[in-house]
């Protein structure tokens, strides 16, 4: 689409940018998202969403956006990788074998000093199913135990060394020891024809980092590892072959697609500047985000995981891990694991997402977002490089992440970033699945943590919902405020259909907090009288669903679109207590 008609298969299919703007503006005016006096060109601002990095995601791309993505080397289906963890080696082994029988093609083993690696991987055909290790507290011991197993020489297996990621997660580790360990295990990996290093960018993501921060961290860490290995005698190309990158895939589809594509662009640029002549493709492992999962209404996580896995596949990830939907509740059960691996089969075998090497390539909007995100990621990388000139000080990076976390928290609190089943459409009557505690959740702050904290300790008594008028008249605001209160663990007792003050007061049972819900007309007609009568009957804190000036009487609080939900809910709970 340009300012002049495009040449298409049929002349009648050619349209100008102005025509598209006019058609889109007509729709937005009907939905009141655009005023009659606003120019048609304002549709771009109305429909452009801004990421936490300040990058605009446009509704439609325009010709001229740079083609940026380095095409993935993968052909056909991506590697379906399942996460295996747990203190009981027999149960972990059983889960691994069931996953492999169910179509998983590689394993990601989370381990520690107490893990019996041989027992966990018993009967796994290691020459066919690669294993990527993740043992931050016992990297060398677990790696050596793995290399001692028969057949543990698959070229896509990885010893999982990531000392800088370990330190970012606040796990004690000295830099000198980390360098020595990395160089020693890299040599052993070379001898056994496996990879040695995983640059785990989810270490930053799990703390709340933005996409650009996650990218910048991964490139800075990757460059640091290249330096450590080349100092030990490896060429840059050989060192690059030792590295795999792990990124988080979220349910924000287009940023995830662009992030994976941008990561390949940035790593290719690093290797180009390092003098690598033959291209060494960045190997990517995408894992669905832990922070985006919710422990309340966890079944919604199936939808989040599916969108994230789709984005990972379209973005060109070589391996994809879908975390089970019940991961936020603790150690997943067999059903959660089955659903997780079947998401990949659905995308690969039924939707044929893997049939094209780069499905998003050439899409102007995605190309532009990729280029913008790559530029932001490179700027973050350069910032980290300057901060690490005299040693690896992570405090400035953590401070920048904290600023992003605060911005995200503000958006979530005002429900500009809605969390279905948690900040929106919560179910106070649900029974959560019971799962054993999972230490893998310990260093993750979920996006909905503040709402979850309120739900963990429900309010001891309900709010009286003083509904004015018929059900048809009050249902919109009553539903809105009921969902808002439920998001904070607060139940409501509803008056029901009422025709006047007497019926409303008759339904009132002495709750300290009441909330009026009705139309503006009802507020104007008898809202003030209702408030006076309820206060006389014992109400101590009166809320109105809508704007506070909608009723000609003093109210203590108001609940309308855009309210800081966390502040409102916290204040309401204090009054109930």
Q: What is the DSSP string of 73-111?
A: ---SSPEEEEEE--S-HHHHHHHHHHHHHTT--EEEEE-
Check: CB of residue 128 under 8 Å from CB of residue 152.
Answer: no
In a domain, residue 391? The reply is no
Q: What is the pLDDT of residues 358-390, one digit of tens each?
A: 888 888 889 999 999 999 999 999 999 999 998
Residue 310 has, within 13 A of its CA and on its CB side, a CA count of 15
Q: Higher-confidence residue: 32 or 323?
A: 323
Full 3-state SS string of 480-531: HHHHHHHCCCCCEEECCCECCHHHHHHHCCCCCEEEEECCHHHHHHHHHHHH
Q: What is the pLDDT of residues 12-29, one digit of tens each?
A: 777 788 888 899 999 999
Give the CA radius of gyration of the chain.
27
CATH number of the domain where residue 555 is located: 3.40.50.280
SS3 182: helix
pLDDT of 21: 87
pLDDT of 60: 79
What distance in Å separates the CA atoms of residue 127 and residue 155, rounded to the nearest whole number? Answer: 9
Output the average pLDDT for the chain.
Answer: 92
What distance in Å separates the CA atoms of residue 204 and residue 215, rounded to the nearest whole number? Answer: 9
Give yes or no for residue 245 having a pLDDT over 70.
Answer: yes
SS3 159: strand
Check: CB of residue 529 under 8 Å from CB of residue 485.
Answer: no
pLDDT of 67: 74
Range of the domain at 17: 1-47
10 Å CB burial of residue 136 (0-12, 13-18, 19+) is buried
In a domain, residue 69? The reply is no
Tell me the average pLDDT across 116-141: 95
10 Å CB burial of residue 272 (0-12, 13-18, 19+) is exposed
Helices 253-273 & 300-315 angle (0-180, nearest 10): 30
Indicate the number of domains in the chain.
3
In a domain, residue 334? The reply is yes
pLDDT of 7: 52
Tell me the average pLDDT across 229-233: 89
The residue out of 342, 365, 382 marking a domain boundary is: 382
Binned at pLDDT 50, 70 and 90, residue 129 comes out as very high
SS3 196: strand
Residue 420 phi, psi dihedral angles, 5° rounding: -60, 130
Tell me the average pLDDT across 493-502: 94
The answer to whether residues 28 and 128 belong to one domain is no
Min mean pLDDT across 13-17, 216-220, 309-313, 529-533 is at: 13-17
pLDDT of 552: 87
**Is the backbone of residue 538 left (phi > 0), alpha (psi -120 to 50) or beta?**
left
Give yes or no for residue 231 having a pLDDT over 60.
Answer: yes
What's this model's pTM, rounded to 2 decimal places?
0.93
The answer to whether residues 187 and 288 belong to one domain is yes
The answer to whether residues 215 and 363 belong to one domain is yes
Q: Are strands 243-249 and 283-288 parallel, antiparallel or unpaired?
A: parallel
Residue 34 CA to its chain's centroid (Å): 30
Check: CB of residue 271 under 8 Å from CB of residue 240.
Answer: yes
The answer to whether residues 241 and 299 belong to one domain is yes
What distance in Å separates the CA atoms of residue 1 and residue 16, rounded to the nearest whole number? Answer: 6
Tokens of 556: 């203590």
pLDDT of 247: 98
The answer to whether residues 292 and 364 belong to one domain is yes
The answer to whether residues 374 and 477 belong to one domain is no
Binned at pLDDT 50, 70 and 90, residue 161 comes out as very high
Evaluated on CA atoms 475, 481, 487, 489, the torsion sign reads: negative
Name the DSSP letter for residue 25. H
In a domain, residue 203? The reply is yes
In a domain, residue 344? The reply is yes
Give yes or no for residue 443 having a pLDDT over 90.
Answer: no
The answer to whether residues 164 and 213 belong to one domain is yes
Name the DSSP letter for residue 121. T
Q: What is the DSSP string of 400-446?
A: HHHHHHHHHHHHHHTTSS--BTTTBS--TT--PPP----GGGTT---
Check: CB of residue 511 under 8 Å from CB of residue 466.
Answer: no
Give yes or no for residue 9 having a pLDDT over 70.
Answer: no
What distance in Å separates the CA atoms of residue 552 and residue 225, rounded to the nearest whole number? Answer: 67
Q: What is the pLDDT of residues 42-51, one digit of tens each?
A: 988 888 889 9
In a domain, residue 170? The reply is yes
Q: What residues are paired with 285 via a beta bridge?
A: 246, 319
CA-angle at 574, arms to 570 and 577, nearest 5°: 135
Q: Higher-confidence residue: 318 or 58?
A: 318
Tokens of 292: 């985006």
The residue out of 365, 382, 399 marking a domain boundary is: 382
Tokens of 447: 């996006």
What distance in Å separates the CA atoms of residue 100 and residue 223, rounded to the nearest whole number? Answer: 34
The residue out of 352, 382, 412 marking a domain boundary is: 382
The answer to whether residues 355 and 223 belong to one domain is yes
The answer to whether residues 35 and 165 belong to one domain is no
CATH number of the domain where residue 320 is located: 3.20.20.240
CA distances from 322 to 41, 190, 413, 440 (A): 40, 29, 27, 15
Q: Are strands 49-50 and 56-57 parallel, antiparallel or unpaired?
A: antiparallel
In a domain, residue 524? The reply is yes
Evaluated on CA atoms 36, 38, 42, 47, the torsion sign reads: negative
The answer to whether residues 43 and 101 belong to one domain is no
What distance in Å separates the CA atoms of residue 490 and residue 368, rounded to the nearest whole number? Answer: 44
Q: What is the DSSP string of 445-480?
A: --TTHHHHHHHHS--SSPEEEEE-B-HHHHHHHHHH
In a domain, residue 526? The reply is yes
The answer to whether residues 238 and 303 belong to one domain is yes
375: CB partners within 8 A, 6+ apart:
none
Show the DSSP H helices in 278-356 as ranges: 300-315, 334-345
**Is the backbone of residue 64 left (phi > 0), alpha (psi -120 to 50) or beta?**
left
The answer to whether residues 291 and 353 belong to one domain is yes
């Amino acid at each position: 689409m340009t300012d002049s008609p495009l040449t298409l298969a049929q002349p009648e299919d050619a349209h100008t940018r102005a025509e598209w703007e006019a058609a889109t503006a007509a729709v937005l005016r009907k939905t009141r998202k655009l005023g009659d006096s606003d120019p048609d060109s304002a549709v771009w601002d109305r429909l452009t969403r801004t990421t936490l990095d300040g990058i605009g995601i446009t509704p439609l791309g325009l010709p001229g956006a740079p083609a940026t993505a380095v095409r993935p080397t993968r052909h056909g289906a991506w590697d379906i990788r399942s996460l295996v963890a747990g203190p009981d080696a027999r149960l972990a082994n059983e889960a691994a074998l069931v996953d492999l029988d169910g179509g998983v093609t590689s394993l990601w083993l989370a381990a520690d000093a107490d893990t019996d690696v041989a027992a966990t991987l018993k009967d796994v055909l290691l020459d066919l199913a690669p294993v990527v290790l993740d043992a931050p507290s016992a990297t060398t011991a677990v790696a050596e135990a793995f290399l001692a197993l028969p057949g543990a020489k698959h070229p896509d297996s990885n010893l999982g060394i990531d000392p800088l990621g370990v330190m970012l997660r606040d796990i004690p580790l000295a830099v000198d020891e980390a360098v020595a360990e990395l160089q020693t295990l890299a040599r052993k990996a070379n001898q056994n024809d496996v990879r040695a290093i995983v640059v785990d960018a989810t270490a930053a993501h799990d703390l709340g980092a933005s996409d650009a921060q996650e990218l910048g961290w991964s490139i800075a860490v990757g460059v640091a590892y290249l330096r450590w290995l080349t100092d030990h005698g490896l060429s840059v190309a050989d060192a690059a072959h030792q590295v795999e990158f792990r990124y988080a895939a979220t349910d924000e589809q287009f940023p995830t697609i662009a992030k994976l594509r941008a990561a390949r662009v940035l790593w290719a640029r690093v290797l180009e500047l390092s003098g690598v002549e033959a291209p060494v493709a960045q190997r990517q492992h995408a894992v669905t985000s832990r922070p985006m999962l919710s422990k309340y209404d966890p079944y919604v996580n199936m939808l989040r995981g599916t969108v994230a896995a789709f984005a990972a596949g379209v973005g060109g990830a070589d391996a994809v891990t879908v975390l089970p939907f019940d991961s936020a509740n603790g150690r997943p059960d067999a059903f959660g694991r089955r659903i997780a691996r079947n998401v990949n089969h659905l995308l690969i075998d039924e939707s044929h997402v893997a049939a094209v090497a780069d499905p998003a390539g050439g899409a102007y909007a995605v190309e532009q977002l990729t280029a913008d995100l790559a530029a932001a990621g490179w700027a973050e990388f350069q910032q980290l490089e300057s901060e690490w000139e005299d040693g690896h000080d992570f405090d400035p990076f953590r401070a920048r992440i904290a600023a992003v976390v605060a911005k995200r928290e503000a958006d979530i609190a005002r429900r500009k970033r809605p969390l279905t089943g948690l900040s929106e459409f919560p179910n106070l009557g649900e029974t959560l699945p019971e799962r054993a505690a999972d230490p893998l959740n310990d260093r993750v702050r979920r996006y909905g943590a503040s709402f979850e904290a309120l739900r963990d300790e429900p309010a001891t008594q309900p709010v009286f919902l003083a509904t004015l008028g018929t059900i048809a008249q009050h249902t919109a605001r009553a539903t809105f405020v009921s969902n808002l209160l439920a998001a904070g663990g607060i139940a409501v007792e509803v008056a029901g259909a009422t025709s006047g003050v007497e019926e409303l007061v008759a339904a009132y049972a002495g709750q300290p907090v009441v909330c009026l819900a009705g139309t503006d007309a009802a507020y104007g007609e008898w809202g003030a009288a209702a408030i006076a009568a309820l206060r006389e009957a014992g109400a101590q804190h009166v809320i109105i669903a809508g704007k506070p000036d909608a009723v000609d009487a003093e109210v203590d609080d108001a609940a309308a679109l855009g309210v800081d939900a966390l502040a409102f809910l916290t204040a309401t709970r204090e009054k109930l207590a």
